[in-house]
Structure 1
Amino acid sequence: MLYVILVAAIVIFWLVAVDRPVLKVKFENGKIVSEKGHFPPSFRHNVTDIAEHTPFSGELKVYQQRTGTKLNFSKQVPKKVQQRIRNVFPHQGFKSKGTKKSG
Protein backbone atom coordinates (compact mmCIF):
# COMPACT_ATOMS: atom_id res chain seq x y z
CA MET A 1 0.00 0.00 0.00
CA LEU A 2 2.87 2.35 0.75
CA TYR A 3 4.33 1.92 -2.73
CA VAL A 4 1.02 3.03 -4.31
CA ILE A 5 1.11 6.24 -2.30
CA LEU A 6 4.77 6.76 -3.21
CA VAL A 7 4.09 6.28 -6.93
CA ALA A 8 1.11 8.67 -6.75
CA ALA A 9 3.26 11.28 -5.00
CA ILE A 10 5.96 10.98 -7.68
CA VAL A 11 3.41 11.35 -10.49
CA ILE A 12 1.84 14.41 -8.86
CA PHE A 13 5.27 15.95 -8.27
CA TRP A 14 6.18 15.36 -11.93
CA LEU A 15 2.97 16.97 -13.19
CA VAL A 16 3.38 20.02 -10.99
CA ALA A 17 7.12 20.62 -10.80
CA VAL A 18 8.46 19.71 -14.24
CA ASP A 19 8.70 22.64 -16.64
CA ARG A 20 6.93 21.64 -19.89
CA PRO A 21 6.73 24.54 -22.37
CA VAL A 22 5.35 24.07 -25.88
CA LEU A 23 8.18 26.24 -27.24
CA LYS A 24 11.50 27.24 -25.70
CA VAL A 25 13.87 29.65 -27.47
CA LYS A 26 17.21 30.97 -26.19
CA PHE A 27 18.76 34.18 -27.53
CA GLU A 28 22.30 35.54 -27.20
CA ASN A 29 23.14 38.99 -28.55
CA GLY A 30 20.22 38.98 -30.97
CA LYS A 31 20.79 35.48 -32.36
CA ILE A 32 18.74 32.34 -31.77
CA VAL A 33 21.06 29.91 -29.99
CA SER A 34 18.67 27.03 -29.38
CA GLU A 35 15.03 26.19 -29.85
CA LYS A 36 12.83 23.34 -28.76
CA GLY A 37 9.23 22.74 -29.75
CA HIS A 38 6.82 24.03 -32.38
CA PHE A 39 8.17 27.32 -33.82
CA PRO A 40 5.90 28.59 -36.64
CA PRO A 41 7.90 30.01 -39.57
CA SER A 42 6.17 33.41 -39.60
CA PHE A 43 6.71 33.86 -35.86
CA ARG A 44 10.37 32.79 -36.24
CA HIS A 45 10.85 35.37 -38.99
CA ASN A 46 9.28 38.17 -36.92
CA VAL A 47 11.24 37.30 -33.76
CA THR A 48 14.49 37.09 -35.72
CA ASP A 49 13.77 40.52 -37.22
CA ILE A 50 13.08 41.99 -33.76
CA ALA A 51 16.28 40.44 -32.38
CA GLU A 52 18.37 41.83 -35.26
CA HIS A 53 17.06 45.37 -34.77
CA THR A 54 17.28 45.28 -30.96
CA PRO A 55 19.88 42.69 -29.92
CA PHE A 56 19.15 41.06 -26.58
CA SER A 57 19.96 37.92 -24.63
CA GLY A 58 17.49 35.81 -22.71
CA GLU A 59 14.90 33.11 -23.01
CA LEU A 60 11.32 32.85 -24.28
CA LYS A 61 8.96 30.06 -23.24
CA VAL A 62 5.44 29.45 -24.54
CA TYR A 63 3.05 27.45 -22.37
CA GLN A 64 -0.25 25.92 -23.48
CA GLN A 65 -3.04 26.52 -20.96
CA ARG A 66 -6.77 25.93 -20.95
CA THR A 67 -7.43 29.61 -21.57
CA GLY A 68 -4.89 29.83 -24.41
CA THR A 69 -1.17 30.36 -24.60
CA LYS A 70 1.11 32.15 -22.15
CA LEU A 71 4.41 33.78 -23.07
CA ASN A 72 7.08 33.77 -20.39
CA PHE A 73 10.29 35.80 -20.76
CA SER A 74 13.49 35.71 -18.71
CA LYS A 75 14.43 38.85 -16.79
CA GLN A 76 17.20 39.74 -19.27
CA VAL A 77 14.69 40.46 -22.07
CA PRO A 78 13.81 44.19 -22.06
CA LYS A 79 10.14 45.12 -21.57
CA LYS A 80 9.92 46.89 -24.94
CA VAL A 81 11.23 43.80 -26.73
CA GLN A 82 8.79 41.61 -24.78
CA GLN A 83 5.90 43.76 -25.96
CA ARG A 84 7.05 43.67 -29.59
CA ILE A 85 7.25 39.86 -29.46
CA ARG A 86 3.79 39.66 -27.84
CA ASN A 87 2.44 41.84 -30.67
CA VAL A 88 3.66 39.44 -33.39
CA PHE A 89 2.79 36.22 -31.54
CA PRO A 90 0.46 34.01 -33.65
CA HIS A 91 -2.16 32.90 -31.12
CA GLN A 92 -3.97 30.81 -33.74
CA GLY A 93 -0.73 28.91 -34.46
CA PHE A 94 -0.69 27.50 -30.92
CA LYS A 95 -4.24 26.19 -30.58
CA SER A 96 -4.81 23.15 -28.43
CA LYS A 97 -4.49 19.83 -30.23
CA GLY A 98 -7.78 18.40 -28.92
CA THR A 99 -10.69 17.43 -31.11
CA LYS A 100 -12.87 20.28 -32.29
CA LYS A 101 -16.60 20.10 -32.87
CA SER A 102 -17.81 21.96 -35.92
CA GLY A 103 -21.37 22.70 -36.15
Structure 2
Amino acid sequence: MLYVILIASVIVFWLVAIDRPVLKVKFSDGKIVQEKGHFPPSFKHNVVEIGEKTPFSGELKVYQQRTGTKLVMSKQVPKKVQQRIRNVFPHQGFRSKGKKGTG
Protein backbone atom coordinates (compact mmCIF):
# COMPACT_ATOMS: atom_id res chain seq x y z
CA MET A 1 0.00 0.00 0.00
CA LEU A 2 2.84 2.36 0.80
CA TYR A 3 4.43 1.88 -2.62
CA VAL A 4 1.15 2.91 -4.33
CA ILE A 5 1.12 6.18 -2.40
CA LEU A 6 4.79 6.73 -3.19
CA ILE A 7 4.29 6.12 -6.92
CA ALA A 8 1.22 8.38 -6.97
CA SER A 9 3.12 11.19 -5.25
CA VAL A 10 6.00 10.88 -7.73
CA ILE A 11 3.56 11.07 -10.66
CA VAL A 12 1.81 14.12 -9.20
CA PHE A 13 5.17 15.79 -8.58
CA TRP A 14 6.23 15.05 -12.17
CA LEU A 15 3.03 16.51 -13.61
CA VAL A 16 3.06 19.65 -11.48
CA ALA A 17 6.64 20.58 -10.69
CA ILE A 18 8.57 19.80 -13.87
CA ASP A 19 8.78 22.67 -16.37
CA ARG A 20 7.67 21.42 -19.83
CA PRO A 21 7.36 24.31 -22.30
CA VAL A 22 6.54 23.75 -25.98
CA LEU A 23 9.14 26.40 -26.89
CA LYS A 24 12.05 27.77 -24.86
CA VAL A 25 14.26 30.57 -26.21
CA LYS A 26 17.17 32.32 -24.48
CA PHE A 27 18.33 35.77 -25.58
CA SER A 28 21.53 37.68 -24.95
CA ASP A 29 21.81 41.29 -26.16
CA GLY A 30 18.94 40.80 -28.60
CA LYS A 31 20.37 37.67 -30.22
CA ILE A 32 19.03 34.13 -29.87
CA VAL A 33 21.54 32.11 -27.88
CA GLN A 34 19.54 28.90 -27.46
CA GLU A 35 16.21 27.61 -28.73
CA LYS A 36 14.38 24.38 -28.00
CA GLY A 37 11.05 23.32 -29.46
CA HIS A 38 8.81 24.44 -32.33
CA PHE A 39 9.65 28.05 -33.29
CA PRO A 40 7.33 29.22 -36.12
CA PRO A 41 9.42 30.99 -38.80
CA SER A 42 7.34 34.18 -38.91
CA PHE A 43 7.40 34.55 -35.12
CA LYS A 44 11.16 33.91 -35.07
CA HIS A 45 11.70 36.56 -37.76
CA ASN A 46 9.65 39.11 -35.81
CA VAL A 47 11.41 38.36 -32.50
CA VAL A 48 14.85 38.64 -34.13
CA GLU A 49 13.79 41.98 -35.63
CA ILE A 50 12.62 43.23 -32.22
CA GLY A 51 15.96 42.12 -30.74
CA GLU A 52 17.90 44.02 -33.42
CA LYS A 53 15.99 47.26 -32.77
CA THR A 54 15.91 46.95 -28.97
CA PRO A 55 18.62 44.59 -27.65
CA PHE A 56 17.53 42.66 -24.57
CA SER A 57 18.52 39.61 -22.56
CA GLY A 58 16.25 37.06 -20.96
CA GLU A 59 14.15 33.99 -21.61
CA LEU A 60 10.87 33.30 -23.39
CA LYS A 61 8.75 30.18 -22.85
CA VAL A 62 5.55 29.01 -24.52
CA TYR A 63 3.31 26.52 -22.71
CA GLN A 64 0.50 24.47 -24.25
CA GLN A 65 -2.61 24.52 -22.07
CA ARG A 66 -6.16 23.27 -22.51
CA THR A 67 -7.40 26.81 -23.13
CA GLY A 68 -4.64 27.60 -25.65
CA THR A 69 -1.07 28.76 -25.39
CA LYS A 70 0.58 30.76 -22.64
CA LEU A 71 3.53 33.06 -23.29
CA VAL A 72 5.87 33.62 -20.33
CA MET A 73 8.93 35.89 -20.30
CA SER A 74 11.61 36.39 -17.66
CA LYS A 75 11.77 39.58 -15.63
CA GLN A 76 14.98 40.67 -17.40
CA VAL A 77 12.97 41.38 -20.56
CA PRO A 78 11.79 45.04 -20.46
CA LYS A 79 8.02 45.62 -20.36
CA LYS A 80 7.98 47.44 -23.71
CA VAL A 81 9.80 44.56 -25.40
CA GLN A 82 7.44 42.05 -23.74
CA GLN A 83 4.46 43.89 -25.20
CA ARG A 84 6.00 44.00 -28.68
CA ILE A 85 6.65 40.24 -28.53
CA ARG A 86 3.07 39.59 -27.33
CA ASN A 87 1.77 41.66 -30.25
CA VAL A 88 3.53 39.44 -32.83
CA PHE A 89 2.90 36.12 -31.03
CA PRO A 90 1.12 33.70 -33.42
CA HIS A 91 -1.50 31.97 -31.28
CA GLN A 92 -2.60 29.89 -34.28
CA GLY A 93 1.00 28.66 -34.78
CA PHE A 94 0.86 26.77 -31.48
CA ARG A 95 -2.50 24.98 -31.78
CA SER A 96 -2.79 21.75 -29.88
CA LYS A 97 -2.70 18.55 -31.94
CA GLY A 98 -6.05 17.31 -30.66
CA LYS A 99 -8.19 20.29 -31.69
CA LYS A 100 -8.17 20.16 -35.47
CA GLY A 101 -11.21 21.47 -37.28
CA THR A 102 -13.45 19.07 -39.14
CA GLY A 103 -14.80 20.03 -42.46
Q: TM-score, normalised by structure 2?
A: 0.96
Partners of 1:84 and 1:95 lie apart in 2 by 21
Letter in 2 for 1:84: R
1:3 maps to what in 2? Answer: 3
Partners of 1:79 and 1:13 lie apart in 2 by 32
| Long gaps (5+) in structure 2 | none
Partners of 1:89 and 1:99 lie apart in 2 by 19
For the aligned residue pairs, the C-alpha RMSD in angstroms reads: 1.0
1:46 maps to what in 2? Answer: 46
Letter in 2 for 1:25: V
Measured at CA, do residues 2 and 24 of structure 1 come closer, stay the same or move farther in structure 2, by a change above 3 Å? same
Partners of 2:101 and 2:74 lie apart in 1 by 37
Q: What secondary structure sits across from 1:8 in the alignment?
A: helix
Measured at CA, do residues 9 and 42 of structure 1 come closer, stay the same or move farther in structure 2, by a change above 3 Å? same
Q: Deviations over 1:32-66 (max 9, x none)?
A: 00001100111100000000100000000001111
1:57 maps to what in 2? Answer: 57
What is the identity percentage for the equivalent residue pairs of Structure 1 and Structure 2? 81
Partners of 1:8 and 1:76 lie apart in 2 by 37
Q: What secondary structure sits across from 2:60 in the alignment?
A: strand
1:97 maps to what in 2? Answer: 97
Partners of 1:23 and 1:100 lie apart in 2 by 20
How many residues of Structure 1 are paired with residues of Structure 2 in the alignment? 103
Aligned structure 1 segments of 4 or more residues deviating by more than 2 angstroms:
none
- How much has 1:100 moved relative to structure 2? 3.0
Letter in 2 for 1:82: Q
